[in-house]
Structures are given as C-alpha cells and as structure tokens.
Structure 1
Amino acid sequence: MHSKKPFYILVALLFIVGIASSIYRGIEHKVPFLPGKQVQSWGVEAKISFQGTGEPAEVSFALPNDPAFEILVENASSPGFGLSITDDPENKRADWSIRSATGRQVLYYKVTLIPTGITRIKAIGTPEVTNAYIWPATEKVAAEQAIEEVWAKSATNLSFAQQLNKAFNAEERSQNIELLLSSNSTSTLFVHMLNSKGIPAQVVSGLNLEDQRRRQQLVSFVEVYDDGEWHLFNPKDGTQGRPENLLLWDRSGKSTLDVIGGINSQVTFSMLQDTRSALATSLDVMNNKGALDFSLYQLPLEEQSLFKGILLIPIGVLMVVFLRVLVGLKTSGTFMPVLIALAFIQTTLLTGLIGFILIVACGLMIRSYLSQLNLLLISRISAVIIVVIGIIGVFTLLSYKFGLSEGLTITYFPMIILAWTIERMSILWEEEGPKEVVLQGGGSLFVATLAYLAMSAPWIQHWVFNFLGIHLVILAIVLLMGQYTGYRLFELKRFKPLAGE
C-alpha cells in the first residue's frame, strides 16, 4: 500500500503557495482584496514664474520626496525649455534650461499622488553630524546660555528637541530666546541650536493638502534625527509629528527653487482631491515599478476578456466536484453544467434557463423522429447539431419579432454541447425512462445554477483574475475531494431504515 504522505505534502504546498502569493500580491502590490474599493488621490500642480533678463536661464526645482505618498503620474509643461529630471531618490529635481529668456516665464509641474499609509520616516544610514553653527559675537552668549538651559532638562536627542520646541513656544519666552528670534527665523534657529549639540537636523518644506486650493505656499518644518528615524517638528507653533494631509515636498535640506538668468522668481501650488479605483491605482503603481511584466494585464484587452471567462471555469469545476462527489447529484455529462453556467453569465439566469429547457425539449422531440430512421451515430449527431442551430435561429428571430431582447442572447449556448446533451438524454429516455431524464436534466440545471451564482459573484470574478494563487488553492481542494471514498449525502437515505426509530 502506497503512503499518502507525499500526496498530503503536495496539497499542503499548494495551499501555502496559493494563499501566500495572494496575500503578498495584496500587501506588496496593494491589489484590493474586494472589488469596487476606492482610494483618495491628490493632484498637485506647481506653477513656477520668473522674469527673464534676456540671458540664458536655468531653473532647478525640487520634486516631492515623501514616503507617505506614492507618485502615480508626473509631467511638466515647459514650452521652449529643455527639461531633465534627476533620478536621485534623496534629491530628485527638475532642471529646465533655455538659451534666452525674455519677459515673464511660466513653468508647470504636475503630479498625481496617493497616500501609502507610511507616516514614519526611516533614515537611510546614519546622517553626518553637521558642523556646529558659528554664532555671531552679538548672539554667542545668549545662544550658549539658552542651549545649556534646555540641554540640562533633556536626556536624549529627541527630548532635547522637544524641550527646545517647548521653549520656543512658551507663554513667557526667555530673554535669550527672544534675542535670538529677533534676528533669525524660527526654523533656522531651531536647526542651528540642535546642530550646536551635534544633533542631525534639517529644514524641510511641506505642503498642506486641502481640496480645491490655489496659490498655496510651502511651509517650513524641521526634521530631527534620533535612533534611525526622522522626527518632524514645527517650531513656529510648537507641534510635533506629521499633521494630517501634509506632503513633504523638499527634504534635501537645500533651496527648493533656484533660478539663474531670471529675477522675481516664485512658486505657488494648486491642488485637487479625487477618488479613483483602488485596482486601477495598484496597476499604475506596479507599472511604475515594472511589476506588470508577468501579469495578465499586459495582454491586449481582447485576451484579458477571454481569460476572465476561462479563469472562472475552475470555480464551476469545484462546484461540480463537490455536488457530485460529496452530495451525490446526478448530471447529464460530467462538466456540461459548467459550460451551461458560462452561457448563463452571458444570457442572465432566467433567460438561460428558459432557453435551455425550450431548446432541449424541442431537440428531444425531433431526436425521437430521427431515432426511427435508424441512422448511423455520426450522421444522427450531425443532424442533431444542425437541428439545434435551426432551433436557436428560430427562437432568436421570434424574440426579435416580439421585441424580447433577452432572447437574442441564447446564441451564447454551446451548440455542440447541447447536441450531445439531447443525444444523451434521448438514449437515457429509451433505456431508463423519463424519470431518469428529468432527474439528470434537473440535476444538471441545478448544478449549472449554483455554478452560475458562484461564477457571477463580483468578488469571485475579482479574486480569480487578480489573485492567481487562488487557483492553486482550488486545485488542492479538488485533490482532497478526489480522495473521498465515503457515502454521498444522497446515499444516506438508503440506510435510514437501519437507524431504527
């Protein structure tokens, strides 16, 4: 007797690989597990303007760099200018250039972003400690006293930044802080005082995202490094952490906009919030990352539509195996109900049931006449196929004449399968009687109906096409049911008398 251990190992591997690949696709590629899910996206437009002086002009503009947002689409509008975008992820910039710029010049940069849910900013390596700021003679004593006073109240780099932020926004600020703020901006002074203690910190620019806002400006924040992570502070209002809907635009620590060959430069931002399909968004993200190379979405639309139908067949097969092996239903043909269920998807359930019953009933009547002619099998089947085509054509014309548009869809029925079904039922009628025909025909329609309900469910259609690992799970379940050798559910009624009262 052969050991079944390799079989169960195979089934377990199919389960694990199928479920793991589906979970990975949902988490890593952000493919939604349920159809119809929507995500919020932001469209942001930066408008750069300057006055050209008639000389060659170069414009360098920092591009958004924030792990909390994923860039879906970005483009620039710059008539007459050359454009290049650097690929440095830490300092991504757009550089425009032109031989001669005279008068007012306007450049546009547009980007579509989606939130990623990542609010913490991990540092790549340990940042270098910036050299201590050299204070002017008029500020040196006040700066040293203010720093030492706050330093004594802290224990770590982060707590020092927190206490310093608190001192900047106290109701009664110390005279030293007031003196320093009179000649320094809040963010710059905050960074200088942190750097004086060897704490990595930098000024970053952020954009508060608000729907349908125009002519917005960047807001300065301060990033402070501690224990492998950057912490965000706003020393102007004393808050710590990331505000809701904040986009960190420039984290390079350098100027956001540089213009050579122009004067009176400025940049303003407009933004618009939108709702889009989570599935379409995940496809755009995968396309940007080059993860669609082995995806069905790489196929032309016609082939995609074909595969969406083909990949539903395992669901129907699973339903047939369950109902025949475990329940014990009888059907006319093993997998004929699956093909009929596919036709029901095109015709709708009620129209499909009526059409199937009418075609088979008419076919059986004509087949009973053909049986009297003593034809060879191949000729009889061929005649039945031609008769089925004729019946479908007549029903289609009658439906059109009476204005029943639903009747036009019965052409989706598989004609060869219908012909074989009629032939099989006719022989069964002759050998077993009409009761067996009704039993098997009714069982086929019942299985086809259940398969249709499963195959037409939107979430199942979404799963079988977007999570191909599900098919490995279905295969594992079919293999397990194939090992079942016990009594079927319908067979138990035969043993009911043995159960006594």
Structure 2
Amino acid sequence: MRALTLHLKILITLLVALGIGITAYQIFVLGIPVTEDETDDLWSIDAKVEFVANTKGPIKVQMFVPPLNQNFVSLNESFISNNYGVSVNRNDGNRRVTWSSRRAKGTQTLYYRLVMTKRYSGNGEQQAPAASGSIFREAIPMQGAEKIAAEALLSPIRQHSADVETFISEAIKRIGNPNDENVKLLLGGNASVSNKARIVESILSIAHVPLERVHTIRLTPEQLQQTPELWLRSFNGKNWLYFNPQTGEQGLPSDRMIWWHGDQPLVTVEGGKTESVSFTLNNSEINAIRLAQLTDQNTHAQFLDYSLYGLPLSTQQTYQIMIMIPIGVLVILILRNLVGIQTLGTFTPVLIALAFRETQLGFGIALFTLITALGLSLRSYLEHLKLQMLPRLSVVLTFVVILIAMISLFSHKLGLERGLSVSLFPMVILTMTIERLSITWEERGGGHAFKVAVGTIIAGSLAHLLMNIPQLVYFIFTFPAVLLVLVGFMLAMGRYRGYRLTELLRFKALLKD
C-alpha cells in the first residue's frame, strides 16, 4: 500500500511538473500571449526615394535596406516602383536593393516598405548570427598639425581607459569638448556628428582600434518622419560594442534598428540627380496570437506549428469545444467527491452542459425539465404494459423525437427562435436520462430521483458556465499542457476518502452528541 501511494505521488508530481513546465516554456520562452486580448506593436516603415531622371541613358538606383537578422521579425517587405526592375544583393553584411530602368523622364518616385514586429524575434531563424568583426586596424595617415593634435589627445585617453569599451567612450567624450584647442584644430570649424565620428575614427586608428559607422532608424510612434541616426560600433573579440557618437554612451537602445553600416551613402543614383530619401514610420497594435500566426506563416518559426492553432480553422472550432470537456468533468468530480451532490453519472451532466451552449442556460434548463418530466410520465405508463427494456427504450426515444419536433414547431409559430435549438439536444442522452431516472425512482423512491435530477441540472449548469468563460477557453486551447495539471489533481482526488460537505451537514447532530 505504501509503495502504491509513493508511485501515485511520483506520477502526480511528474504530471503537474510537466504541465507547468510546458506552459511556462510557451509563455516565457516562446512569448505566446496569456490572454486573447493581449496586443503587440506592429511597425510599418516606408522609405520614399525621389530623384530627377536624365532624359537620355539608363537609370540605376541603389539603396541600402535593413538586414533581416536583427531583433525583429519581418512580416512583409515590398519594393514599389513603376516600370523598374528590382533586385536585392548582399555585401559585407549589408543588403542593397537596385532599381533599374532603360529610360525615364522627369521626377521619379520609388518606395520601399517593411512591416515588422519585435515580438517572437528570439525564435526560429530570425536570431542574429554570431558576432564577428576585425579587432585590428591600420592607422589612418595624418600629417602636420593634425597628427600632433591627435597624438596629444590620445595620451590622456589612454590614461583614463582600461579596455576597448572605456577607450572608445573616452575618445568620444574628448572630441565632444568644444573648448579643447586640439579638438578645434581637428574639427576645422565643422562640428557635425559625421565629422566628429571621422575624427574619433582617425584617433582610434592610431591605437589600431577598429571603428565602424552604423546608421539606425528609431522606432518611436511620436516621430513619424525621420532621417537615419549615426552610431559607432567596434568589435572587442566577442561582441559588437555600440556607442553614441555625441555622448560616448555605450549600448544601442532597444528602439533602434540598424539600417546599414559603413561610410557609403544611403542611396546612389546613376542617370539621375537631386536624389533624396524620406522615412515615414507608423505604429499600430495587432492581436498578439494573430501576430504569432503571421510570424509562423512569414518566417521559419514553428512555435505554433505543433499547437492546436496548426489545425484547420473548422477543426479548431471543434476542438475549442472538446478541449473544455475535462474542465466540465473536473467540476462534476469536485461536486460529487467533495461537495456530495448526486448526479446521473459523470459524463451525463457534461453532455447536458454542452447542449446548453446552443439553447443558453435558462431556456435549456426549462426544455430539459419539460422533456424529462414528460418522458418519465411515458416511462411510468410503459412500465404498466410490462414491456422489455429494448422496446421500452425505443418507444421513449421515438417519443423524445416527436416531442422535440413539436416544441420546435410551436416555438417557430410563436416566434421563439430559441426553441428551434432544442433539436440539438442529444436525443440518446435524454432517453437514457429518462430511463435511469425512472429506474432510480423505482429502486429508491421519487424523492431520491428528484434529488438526483436536480443535482444533475445543477452540475450541468455549473459546468456550462465554467466551460464557456472566453478567457479560460482561450487559455486551455492555447496551453493544452494545463490539462496534465488537471489530470494530476484528478489522480489526487481519486484517493480522497474523507467526508463530503453534504455529509457534514447530514451528520451534524452526531457531532453535537
């Protein structure tokens, strides 16, 4: 007995741990939303390229587009143009789109659109590749006064730094000091961010520290139109280190998306002039579970492929009903084993609860009571005819069908369309319910049969209410591993031998004595 108890405890523990573990993995690792109403950000970025085409000769427009290996998931990428060929190439970690045309005239407009999300970006093959880069750089040639000024700045930078990260930060801060004479000489009156980045790059090259320009877009709903923002980065042998070129602050903010890196301009035009690029950002919210489905469809992510969301839509609707049956069974188990309510078995109240989905609770209880009462009356009359069980059940079943048809017909005539749904009641369940109630009446009396019938209605009603909570239906359907936890609880309830609540009331007088 002790070995059996230990085996049961181990089984319950394994089931509960497995159910909680799988559910936690779906929530915290895969990022699947806990509630159906949860939403997430969906970003739409438009890059508009405008230029004036030459009257003669072919046209070739090249523009950098973001690499699809960052902390976001691309849901749609579009290249919009009129009579232009489009191709996308990769070079040194950058992606570049090329629009080409044999000839064009006047002002030309090209569009690039990217729809993306940052949710689920840590899954599937959308993760960024292993960081790699150069850790050594040849010194940029400098002469005369500029060389002396750069070396004068380099000495205190080395004294106030301990590694590559602090070395670069200190260099940026020194160049950002407008009162330093050496800085004024190097800047030459041009204090733009781009020129400061060039000076920082030159100084660091003397110490053979590589530095690379990174152009980013800021994902913010407040700033609808913007231009790429310049950042700097360096490889320390393990990871890329990102720096603000104005403050020296280390770390790329989470709302920045790398568009391209390097010194080349964003767009180049052959066969045209006066080119310009403008960015427009739009932020909207989308249902998180719908976003997960779109992510699965547009990427190689598979975190919903092996869930019930991978089934056809019609099948999903069926399973949304079926998967709630264990919840109804759990309600019946608690009412019978802990509360002490007597019902017609375990599954009859659950099936009645499913029928209430179509008729609604109040109307369904009335119909169930009416049909059962009339069926019991017929069953009592047939008992006097001394019929065998099979013919008796056949007559009751036929009577139930006729009764259901009559109720539907009269309901339609009276304008009560709800009464038409009575045909969805399981006729066999109603027939067996009538038969079992009549047997209970004969064996244990009318009072006990009435008590069992009322208990069945109460249990079915409570199961119906719980099985139709939208938040619970979504949670169980999305995280079906929770059912393992329910199985563990059911196993634990299987060894309960204590008093039920109704028995405590029943034997209250004995407790007083």
Counterpart for residue 6 of structure 1: 7
Counterpart for residue 260 of structure 2: 250
Aligned residue for 2:3, secondary structure, equals: coil
1:434-462 CA distance string (max 9 Å, x none): 21122111111111122122211222211
Match of 2:300 among 270, 284, 289: 289
Counterpart for residue 91 of structure 1: 93
Unaligned runs of 5+ in 2: none
Separation of aligned partners in 2, 1:112 and 1:97: 20
Q: Does 1:272 align with 2:282?
A: yes
Amino acid of the structure 1 residue aligned with 2:112 = Y
Separation of aligned partners in 2, 1:16 and 1:200: 50
1:498 CA drift (Å): 4.0
Aligned CA distance change for structure 1 residues 94 and 9 (closer, same or farther; 3 Å): farther
TM-score normalised by L of structure 2 = 0.86
The answer to whether the Cα contact below 8 Å between 2:71 and 2:128 also exists between their aligned partners in 1 is no
Separation of aligned partners in 2, 1:254 and 1:346: 66
Separation of aligned partners in 1, 2:212 and 2:370: 78
Separation of aligned partners in 2, 1:38 and 1:266: 35
1:465 CA drift (Å): 0.9
Matches within 5 A, 1:365-384: 365-384=377-396
The answer to whether the Cα contact below 8 Å between 2:135 and 2:237 also exists between their aligned partners in 1 is no
Separation of aligned partners in 2, 1:29 and 1:244: 19
The answer to whether the Cα contact below 8 Å between 2:36 and 2:287 also exists between their aligned partners in 1 is no
Separation of aligned partners in 1, 2:3 and 2:308: 38
Counterpart for residue 149 of structure 1: 156
- 401-410 or 427-436, which moves further after superposition? 401-410
- 14-23 or 159-168, which moves further after superposition? 159-168
- 93-102 or 345-354, which moves further after superposition? 93-102
Counterpart for residue 192 of structure 1: 202
Identity, in percent, stands at: 32
Aligned CA distance change for structure 1 residues 51 and 232 (closer, same or farther; 3 Å): same
Aligned residue for 1:272, secondary structure, equals: strand
Q: Does 1:62 align with 2:65?
A: yes
Counterpart for residue 138 of structure 2: 132
Number of corresponding residues: 498
TM-score normalised by L of structure 1 = 0.88
1:36 CA drift (Å): 0.9
The answer to whether the Cα contact below 8 Å between 1:83 and 1:97 also exists between their aligned partners in 2 is yes
1:310 CA drift (Å): 0.8
Separation of aligned partners in 2, 1:251 and 1:52: 27
1:66 CA drift (Å): 7.1
Matches within 5 A, 1:47-446: 47-52=48-53, 54-55=57-58, 57=60, 59-64=62-67, 67-85=70-88, 91=93, 93-98=95-100, 100-103=102-105, 104-116=107-119, 124-125=130-131, 127-138=133-144, 139-170=146-177, 172-182=178-188, 185-211=195-221, 215-225=225-235, 228-236=238-246, 240-243=250-253, 245-251=255-261, 256-259=266-269, 262-287=272-297, 288-291=299-302, 292-446=304-458
Amino acid of the structure 2 residue aligned with 1:364 = L
1:218-256 CA distance string (max 9 Å, x none): 111112445844443332366554457433322467654
Amino acid of the structure 2 residue aligned with 1:289 = H
The answer to whether the Cα contact below 8 Å between 1:122 and 1:228 also exists between their aligned partners in 2 is no
Counterpart for residue 42 of structure 1: 43
1:118-161 CA distance string (max 9 Å, x none): 99x99934531241341332422211212223222222222223
1:87 CA drift (Å): 8.0
Separation of aligned partners in 1, 2:306 and 2:504: 48
Unaligned runs of 5+ in 1: none
Aligned residue for 1:211, secondary structure, equals: coil
The answer to whether the Cα contact below 8 Å between 2:59 and 2:269 also exists between their aligned partners in 1 is no
The answer to whether the Cα contact below 8 Å between 2:320 and 2:477 also exists between their aligned partners in 1 is yes
Separation of aligned partners in 2, 1:371 and 1:86: 86
Separation of aligned partners in 2, 1:65 and 1:148: 41
Separation of aligned partners in 2, 1:427 and 1:303: 39
Separation of aligned partners in 2, 1:339 and 1:117: 39
Separation of aligned partners in 2, 1:398 and 1:92: 73
Separation of aligned partners in 2, 1:148 and 1:347: 85
Aligned residue for 1:128, secondary structure, equals: coil
Structure 1 runs of 4+ with >6 Å offset: none
The answer to whether the Cα contact below 8 Å between 2:296 and 2:305 also exists between their aligned partners in 1 is no
Separation of aligned partners in 1, 2:27 and 2:314: 25
Aligned CA distance change for structure 1 residues 345 and 229 (closer, same or farther; 3 Å): farther
Aligned CA distance change for structure 1 residues 56 and 67 (closer, same or farther; 3 Å): closer
